Amino acid sequence: MTKRVAILISGGGSNMVSLAQSMRADHPARPVLVASNDPQAGGVAKARAMHIPTLAIDHKPFGKDRAGFEAALQMALETAQPDIICLAGFMRILTPAFTGQWEGRMLNIHPSLLPRYKGLHTHSRALEAGDSEHGCTVHEVTAALDDGPILGQARMPVLAGDTPETLAARLLPLEHVLYPAVLRRFADGDRTPVMLQG
Ligand code: GRF
């Protein structure tokens, strides 16, 4: 049975594009929705161009009412009926009430080698720590931020002269390989971690 995948974005959506492009031929999943909390997100137009149903729910009118925003998001998801949700550059913190409904069915990609550097500014933190390697992690989403079971990691060396920008630019293509590889296994019911070396 083909798994239905909803992808949540906030920005350019390059990870969403990689995921959507991977779901074809004998892949066990297909994209059924791309939703963004920012109506101006570049990824929305990219999803439309790929003929994927899209929805933008601007979080700003909800102010601090996280539950209100999530109720609108949940309504859209109940229509799309996804089996799996992929957070791909989605920059909103989700409440435990929301993550609890989707636990075991929601993935996220985070630009660090978790458990190192949960939260923001991961590239500058890795540089400040003098790390010799950096990378990205795909994990299951739980109530705790950037903390769920790890489903895959891609590692790369930190080079002399690297800046947060050069790290991010070298890491993004690895994300575009890792996330689709993890999604394919996950959609097949296989939680064996995918480990890649960039
Ligand atoms: C990526 O670096 C990802 O690791 C982080 O946000 C960025 C989103 O990029 N979560 P994109 O929107 O997928 O291009």
| Catalytic residue of the set 59, 110, 134, 139 | 110
In the structure, what pLDDT confidence band is assigned to residue 82 with cuts at 50, 70 and 90?
Answer: very high
Q: Look up 51 and say whether it is catalytic.
A: no
d(CA 175, CA 7): 15
AA letter at 86? C
Handedness of CA 147, 190, 109, 165 (dihedral sign): positive
Distance 196 CA to ligand 1 centre (A): 18
Nearest CA to ligand 1 atom 7: 89
- pTM here? 0.96
Distance 14 CA to ligand 1 centre (A): 7
Tokens 């070396």 belong to which residue?
197
Domains parsed from the chain with CATH numbers: 1-102 (3.40.50.170), 110-198 (3.40.50.170)
Pocket around ligand 1: residues whose beta carbon is below 6 Å from it?
9, 11-15, 43, 88-89, 109, 111, 136, 172, 175
What are the tens digits of pLDDT across the range 18-57? 999 999 999 999 999 999 999 999 999 999 999 999 999 9
Predicted confidence (pLDDT) at residue 1 exceeds the cutoff of 90: no
Q: How many CB atoms lie within 10 A of CB 97?
A: 13
Residue 40 burial (CB < 10 Å; 0-12/13-18/19+)?
exposed
Distance 15 CA to ligand 1 centre (A): 6
Q: Tell me the average pLDDT across 96-114.
A: 97
